[in-house]
Amino acid sequence: MAQEEDLQRAERYTLISKILGDWSYANPSVPEINEIVPLPPARLPTWDGKLKWIEERKANIPPPKPSEALIELLAKAMVLDPKTGKPMPGSPVYSKED
């Protein structure tokens, strides 16, 4: 293949591997890997050492709240009170103690 040793590319792979290992419990992913470490002979672009997945996780932005219509639909399907989420009479998990 006549490729020369590329220590910068290897260093990036090592750093990414360490980051993924540190966050392995959270099932991290690196969809932007080809932007960070493109296959040779492409030149390495500048990289700030951050992964999008980690930055998004650290930002801790909650998911958008479901619409009232969706809440009503899902509650009706499971026979739940849409305001409390508790089972209503007719629900397979309804108990009079609730």
How far is 25 from 60, CA to CA, in rounded Å? 17
For residue 54 the two structure tokens come to 């980690």
Judge if 43 and 83 occupy the same domain: no
Judge if 47 and 69 occupy the same domain: no
Output the pTM of the full model: 0.59
Q: Is 50 left (phi over 0), alpha (psi -120 to 50) or beta?
A: beta
Residue 72 main-chain phi, psi, to 5 deg: -60, -45
Q: What is the pLDDT of residues 2-44, one digit of tens each?
A: 678 899 999 999 999 999 999 999 999 999 999 999 998 899 9
Say if 51 falls within a structural domain.
Answer: yes
**Residue 62: predicted pLDDT:** 86
Judge if 48 and 15 occupy the same domain: yes
- Structural domain boundaries, residue 18: 7-59
How far is 47 from 37, CA to CA, in rounded Å? 9
Say if 2 falls within a structural domain.
Answer: no
Judge if 55 and 78 occupy the same domain: no
Q: What is the pLDDT of residues 28-87, one digit of tens each?
A: 999 999 999 999 889 999 999 999 999 999 998 888 999 999 999 999 999 999 999 999
Say if 25 falls within a structural domain.
Answer: yes
